């Protein structure tokens, strides 16, 4: 009876070991497959500027496509909420390291002539993914970057539900405000914001949570009205 019990335990350990080997092989295969993905460029990150922008070793500035971290440098001199956290998190992840760059094919540069794309680790995880998961970056709609918007919005919804990072501010805003969204730009405004009056294709949100869940980003013009106590 004891031998039979020991045999069953040994069998379980063998099966567990085989499963670990299987998943290790699968992970290694996935990694090799990712590294063979067309368009990946091996780059070294010289310096991190803020939560979503870095300088490559060749001097090019790279802006992570489809996401936005809050402003580190403002006119008042006071960083927006979680801008510092995003900066330090990004710095820890990438500065001085070699990663893999995938340039956005539909829109290679923004209006400031920065490269647009994603940075990946060898295992296929992107830096943008980690920022969004921690609630340190907002998923924002930009023309030519729709694939990133669709890719990361589900992750933002999880961070929103968990009240991570930026979303920990939800519930602290004044009650009873109806926010006004622009269906074209997918930005939302405080009703007192002058920009809100010029929106032609409007959509209304009863809360900040609803606006973020639908994939709308706060307008730069009235950020202080949306988050008055930051």
Whether the model clears a pTM of 0.75, i.e. scores above it, the answer is: yes
Is the distance from CB of 118 to CB of 81 less than 8 angstroms?
no
- Give the residue from 187, 110, 108 showing the smallest Cα distance to 141: 187
pLDDT of residue 24: 41
Is the distance from CB of 128 to CB of 137 less than 8 angstroms?
yes
Rounded CA-CA distance 67/58 in Å is 23
Q: The sheet that has 179-182: what strands, in order across it?
A: 202-205, 179-182, 187-189, 217-218
pLDDT of residue 74: 84
For the chain, what are the domain ranges?
A: 40-166, 172-226
Phi, psi of 11 (to 5 degrees): -60, -40
Ranges under pLDDT 70 in the chain = 1-36, 229-230
40-166: CATH topology is: OB fold (Dihydrolipoamide Acetyltransferase, E2P) (2.40.50)
Is the distance from CB of 68 to CB of 16 less than 8 angstroms?
no
- Residue 83, H or E segment: helix 83-94
Catalytic residue numbers, as ranges: 63, 71, 114
């Amino acid at each position: 009876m004891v031998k039979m019990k020991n045999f069953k335990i040994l069998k379980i350990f063998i099966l567990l070991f085989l499963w670990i080997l299987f998943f290790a092989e699968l992970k290694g295969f996935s990694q090799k497959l990712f590294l063979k993905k067309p368009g990946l460029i091996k780059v070294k990150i010289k310096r991190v500027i803020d939560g979503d922008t870095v300088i490559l070793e060749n001097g090019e500035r790279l802006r992570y496509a489809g996401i936005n971290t809050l402003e580190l440098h403002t006119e008042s001199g006071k960083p927006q909420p979680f801008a510092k956290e995003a900066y330090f998190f990004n710095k820890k992840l990438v500065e001085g390291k070699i990663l893999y760059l995938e340039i956005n094919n539909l829109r290679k540069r923004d209006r400031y002539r920065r490269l647009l794309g994603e940075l990946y680790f060898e295992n296929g995880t992107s830096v943008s993914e980690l920022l969004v998961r921690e609630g340190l970056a907002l998923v924002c709609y930009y023309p030519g970057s729709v694939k990133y918007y669709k890719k990361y919005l589900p992750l933002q919804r999880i961070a929103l539900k968990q009240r991570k990072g930026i979303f920990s501010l939800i519930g602290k805003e004044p009650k009873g405000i109806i926010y006004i969204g622009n269906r074209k730009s997918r930005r939302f405004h405080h009703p007192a914001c002058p920009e809100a009056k010029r929106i032609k294709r409007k959509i209304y949100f009863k809360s900040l949570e609803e606006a973020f869940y639908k994939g709308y980003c706060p307008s730069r013009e009235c950020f202080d009205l949306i988050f008055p106590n930051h």
